[in-house]
Structure 1
Amino acid sequence: MNAQQHPAPALRAEDRPARLSVGVVGTGRVGSALAAALRLAGHRPVAASGVSDASRRRAAALLPGVPLVGPAEVLARADLVLLTVPDDALPGLVAGLAETGAVRQGQLLVHTSGRYGAAVLEPATRAGGLPLALHPAMTFSGTQVDVERLAGCSFGVTAPEELRLAAEALVIEMGGEPEWIEEEARPLYHAALAIGANHLVTLVAQSLELLRSAGVSAPDRMLGPLLGAALDNALRSGDAALTGPVARGDAGTVAAHITELRAHAPHAVAGYLAMARTTADRALAHGLLKPELAEDLLGVLSAPQPPAPGPAGGGGEPGGGDDGNDGDRGGEQ
């Protein structure tokens, strides 16, 4: 069921959160922005915790005057607590807070992990806490612009049925659009966002790099209009927006691409082949790629690839490996 089935005007006054004191455990990019948005909605941030210097600077910028204290003290001061830490740290944090008696009866506990639903808050729920999972489908920069970007941003919402309207009301107060996600669908939901957002950054960065290698002086200016149009077309038309040599079945052009990448950017070959195969499969399934052209194309994409050149004397090519939240993550994909 989606958010449109629970529009803002339908929320009764008694379902809307009262003005709440707000605490933040993990003042990364997400937690700071959400607390700032709740302040604009009339709630009152009263305490925050953050470990890194970057988190502390961010809290000072987005939550001026809010004292930085330990996590237990944040819970002691706040009616609503944002638990905005990395996904892998969330279960341990919740368990620890519950075991030490930090959770109060009737206290709203909100995490912003895309991966988890409300079940990860079960230890706190047993201690009397009210569990909400509110994941903003947005990437965050750690600046004031994040608060502005929340306007119209979709939030993946998961909560017990009796807290559903309250959870959706909080999202609306932050300027967002609630989208209900069932508990068991959270990992798939988050994987979908990661494919769309995180992998997009990798693809764009690689494209910029290759254009520079080809001598393009302003690759960002070249890619901007192209990618903007491609994204708009994809959102409007899905697979029908596919264009390019793979969707057309131009096997010779694709072979030339692979040859050039192998010579000038061997690290990009594997990604090109993986995406081209996926594109070919989707184009074929949707009738864009003619079956009589698909055989040659798939043959090119399946041809054995020579090993990537290593450093002088043999050996493999060295590889390289942010959560982008200074260790205090829990909202972006």
Structure 2
Amino acid sequence: MKKYKICVIEGDGIGKEVIPETIRVLKELGDFEFIKEHAGYECFKRCNSAIPDRTIETAKECDAILFGAVTTPKPKELEKKLYKSPILTLRKELDLYANVRPINNFEDIDFVIIRENTEGLYTNKEYYDDKKEIAIAERIISKKGSSRIIKFAFDYALKHHRKKVSCIHKANILRITDGLFLKIFNETAEKYKKFNINSDNYLIDATAMYIIKNPKMFDVMVTTNLFGDILSDEASGLLGGLGLAPSANIGDKHGLFEPVHGSAPDIAGKGIANPIASILSASMMLYYLGMKEKSKLLRDSVKSVLKKGYKTPDLGGNLKTTELTDKIIEEIKNK
């Protein structure tokens, strides 16, 4: 079996706790070469770069990237433009245009939010007009960006035996930008009817309500950058919190896997961070690398541990980060 090279970026805060635990789990499932690199606020303070060139090069050379979480710096440093976001930089450098966030509570909720990852409002194209005293951000929706993320969503549905793709938009108000996104969605949906994949579309504000009121109505969602970011964080509340929410950033040549949660400086160093989001992200990485049976084994092990009531404090339990990882490793060995 191929020995995969994994670029490991722990980042800041609890990233330095949950990523090592995830590596412990992965060592039980395969023979990997872990190459540790640096990025984040601590890295910025240490070497005046939030993401050194070496980190980017290593990420490009590896089979996948396992990413922790990074702390956002103080506003003064952001204003001086000294700090650039490591995750946004990697998404751009590696062209990781698809952000995939499964929402699955291992029981009755199971849908996936797929968001465009490289444009929309997250392009850092903001400026302040002193004369008019207004702040302006450009929202960019391109035909190319829309086409490939929508195709990715339908291909994902096909590959994972899903039955429906829903477009989430605000085309009734954002008629040009979201109008383009919805138009391309409808055109793409026609091509996938022959595969028995259904399609529909909902306004973003209504979707925010439907996720809470009736999450079972969704299967695969596809949407723009900001909408997907907000909806996926909202939906993680159905799972019990961000400590259970994994994600993947995928392009045509590279894949980066990270927990949805942030660096959580308020609990960093206390040994109580929930490692499950990171571990489930690793399960997504295994699937991406073609290790589907190992991916399922890891998910099933996490499911068993939660079903038995083993939890960290964020979920009402009392286990430490390492203790919960120990339980997951026990399940892997038992299975």
TM-score, length basis structure 2: 0.29
Instruction: Identify the structure with the greater helix proportion.
Output: 1
Q: Which protein has the larger Cα radius of gyration, Structure 1 or Structure 2?
A: 1
Instruction: Identify the structure with the greater strand proportion.
Output: 2
TM-score, length basis structure 1: 0.29
